[in-house]
Chains A and B, each alone.
Chain A
C-alpha cells in the first residue's frame, strides 16, 4: 500500500444533483470515483494524483436499468454484476452480458460500473466493443443540462473523451433492434479469467441471400481507443459471403488496425488475431446463412 489515505479527500454528497453541483462549482477539481476498481488500484500503487474525490457509489439516480419498447437504458452506476444477471439485457444484448461476465472477477464485477469502464478510457476495456456494435448512445449530465450522443463519438484518443470536467456519464442507451442480427464477441486475454484484454472483436450483422446487408465491427486494443472498424465494414457491406470477400476484408482489417507492443502482447500478434477473429465470425456467418438457405 503506497498511497496515503490522508493525502486525499473523499466526499459522498449522496444525490446526483449534489454531485453535479459540486462538480459545477469547481470543474476539474473533483475526481469522480464509483466502484474504485481503477482508482483504488492506483491509490495502492501510489499513483493516485487526484487530491479530491467525489463518490458516485450507489447513487440511486445512476443505478437504474430501464426497459422500454425501443431501448434499454443502463444507468452509469450499474455494475457489471447487475448487467450480467439482467434477463432483458441477456435476451437483447447478449454480447454485453458476456462482456460483463468476463470483466475481472465476481468481486470486481460487483464493484465495477459501466460508466467507469467507459470513462476510464482504456483501449482494452471490455464493454465498449459490445456497446459499439449495438449502436449505443451515451447520455451525459451536468448542471448545464443533458446531452446525448452516439457512443462511437465519445472517445477522442488515448484516455481522452468528449466528457467535460463538470460532466458525468448518466446512462447508456441501447436500441432494441438487434434481435435478428448475427452476433459475435470474443475476448482474447492473458488467461481465461481475471484477464486484461489483449484483443477483442465484437460484431453484429445481417446476411440476406448470402449477401451482407448490415455489419458493425468493433475492437478493443487495436487503437488508442475502442473503435468501430469502419473500413473493414465498408469492405464487407453489400458483398456476397465468399472466400474472396473474406480474404479482402482480412487485408483491409490488417491495414485498419493500429495496435501497439506493450507489457501484455505485441502489435503483430494483435493484428493477426484480430484478423483471425474476423475470419472466425465471417465463417460462422457463412455457415449460418448456408443453413438458413438450406432450411428455407
Chain B
C-alpha cells in the first residue's frame, strides 16, 4: 500500500484531538474508530442517508464523504456534544417527547441536521424543515414526528449550542 500516514489535528466537540491515519480515511471512520465516537452511523457510505451527519466548521456535512485530510484543524460537532453536562439540548428533549426517535439509527444525524437548521433559522416553516432534513433518511417515523420535534424545539428556544 502506497499511502503514508498523516498527522491530523482537529477539535471535536470542543476537545483537541490528534490522529495518525491515512489521509483518505473518512472523517466518519476517524470519529468512530480512532476517537471512539460511535454516534455518527454509516447507513449508505454515499452521502444519501445522512446518518453520518456532523458539523464541520459550522457547516453540516456527511462525514462519510470527507477525507480526514480535509478536516485538518477543523472544528467538528457530533451528537455526543449536543447535551451540555446532564442538560439535554432542546432538540433532544423534543425528540424524546414528540416521538421523533424510533429505532434511533438516523437520530444522531437527524439531530445534527436539525441543529444546523435551527442555527441558521430559529423558527423554520414546515417547508423549510422538510428541506433542511431532506438529506437525512428515516424509515421508521414517516418524518411527521420529526417535524413535530423540530417545531417543538424551536418553541423551546432552540439552540443553546449555537453560541459556542
A and B touch in the complex (CB under 8 A): yes
Q: Is the CB of B26 within 8 A of A1?
A: yes
> Complex Cα distance A33/B23, Å?
13
Q: Is the CB of B60 within 8 A of A40?
A: no
> Complex Cα distance A57/B3, Å?
19
Cβ of B46 under 8 Å from chain A: yes
| CB < 8 Å neighbour of A81 from B3, B46, B59, B131 | B59
A36 surroundings in chain B (CB, below 8 A): 65-67, 70
Q: Is the CB of B22 within 8 A of A104?
A: no
Report B14-36 CB contacts with A as 1/0, cut-off 8 Å: 00000001111110010000000
Cβ of B47 under 8 Å from chain A: yes
Q: Which residue of B lies closest to A82 (CB)?
A: B59
Cβ of B62 under 8 Å from chain A: yes
Q: Is the CB of B3 within 8 A of A7?
A: yes
Report A34-74 CB contacts with B as 1/0, cut-off 8 Å: 01110011011100000101010110000000000000000
Q: Which residue of A lies closest to B48 (CB)?
A: A194
Q: Which of B2, B70, B130 has the most CB of A within 10 A?
A: B70
B69 surroundings in chain A (CB, below 8 A): 10-12, 55
Q: Known contacts A5-B24, A5-B25, A194-B48; is A44 also within 8 Å of B64 by CB? A: yes
Q: Please tell me which stretch of B75-83, B87-95, B132-140, B156-164 contacts chain A, meaning at least 4 of its Cβ atoms lie within 8 angstroms of it.
A: B132-140
Q: Is the CB of B26 within 8 A of A106?
A: no
> Complex Cα distance A105/B134, Å?
6
Q: Please tell me which stretch of A107-115, A150-158, A165-173, A265-273 contacts chain B, meaning at least 4 of its Cβ atoms lie within 8 angstroms of it.
A: A107-115
Q: Is the CB of A57 within 8 A of B22?
A: no
B42 surroundings in chain A (CB, below 8 A): 1
| CB < 8 Å neighbour of B134 from A44, A57, A193 | A193
Q: Is the CB of B3 within 8 A of A105?
A: no
Q: Is the CB of B135 within 8 A of A44?
A: no
Cβ of A8 under 8 Å from chain B: yes
> Complex Cα distance A192/B134, Å?
9
Q: Which of B42, B47, B50, B61 has the most CB of A within 10 A?
A: B47
Q: Is the CB of B3 within 8 A of A5?
A: yes
Cβ of B150 under 8 Å from chain A: no
Q: Is the CB of B45 within 8 A of A44?
A: yes
B45 surroundings in chain A (CB, below 8 A): 1, 41, 44-45
Q: Is the CB of B1 within 8 A of A37?
A: no
Determine how close the nearest CB of chain A comes to the CB of B143; give it in whole angstroms. 11
Q: Which of A4, A35, A101, A107 has the most CB of B within 10 A?
A: A107
Q: Which residue of B lies closest to A9 (CB)?
A: B3
Q: Which residue of B lies closest to A42 (CB)?
A: B46
Cβ of B72 under 8 Å from chain A: yes
Q: Is the CB of B113 within 8 A of A6?
A: no
> Complex Cα distance A110/B59, Å?
7
> Complex Cα distance A177/B60, Å?
34
Determine how close the nearest CB of chain B comes to the CB of A281; give it in whole angstroms. 24
Q: Is the CB of B47 within 8 A of A40?
A: yes
> Complex Cα distance A206/B65, Å?
42
> Complex Cα distance A282/B58, Å?
42
Q: 10 tightest A-B contacts by CB?
A: A105-B135, A193-B134, A44-B45, A5-B24, A6-B1, A10-B23, A40-B65, A5-B22, A110-B59, A5-B25
Q: List 21 A-B contacts (CB under 8 A).
A: A5-B3, A5-B21, A5-B29, A5-B67, A6-B24, A8-B2, A8-B3, A9-B2, A9-B4, A9-B24, A10-B3, A35-B65, A43-B24, A51-B2, A107-B53, A107-B60, A107-B113, A108-B47, A108-B135, A111-B62, A193-B134
Given A6-B22, A7-B3, A194-B135: 11 more A-B contacts, CB < 8 Å: A4-B1, A5-B24, A9-B3, A10-B3, A40-B26, A51-B2, A57-B70, A81-B59, A106-B131, A110-B59, A111-B66
